[in-house]
Amino acid sequence: MADAGGRNWTTDGQPGSTKVIVGQAFEDDQHMAIDLTDEGISSIVAKLRLVKASEQSNFAMGGTLSIDGVGAWAVTCPEF
């Protein structure tokens, strides 16, 4: 579940939330991009964009999460 700006989004459509689905997703060894759409697949609700980095046994990802009409945030994933 994601909660921002007093609104909730889920992929399973819990009561009181807006159901979203993965509209498209891409991942390679350097990037990850996921677009979440409304249930009718008519508009993109949120975008997650991450860049991956690794050195020896250390891994990290960082990027942005933007939710349409609500805001944008920095995202860090120290290990994946």
Please check whether residue 23 is in contact with residue 44, taking contact to mean a CB–CB distance below 8 angstroms: yes
Please, which residues have CB within 8 angstroms of residue 12's CB and are 6 or more apart in sequence? 19
The pTM for the full model equals 0.83
Measured CA angle at 26 (ends 22, 28), to 5 deg: 150
Q: Cα separation of 64 and 59, whole Å?
A: 17
The 10s digit of each residue's pLDDT in 12-24 is: 888 888 889 999 9
* Number of separate domains in the chain: 1
Nearest Cα to 52, choosing from 80, 71, 12, 23? 80
Q: Which residue has the higher pLDDT, 67 or 4?
A: 67
Range of the domain at 18: 2-77
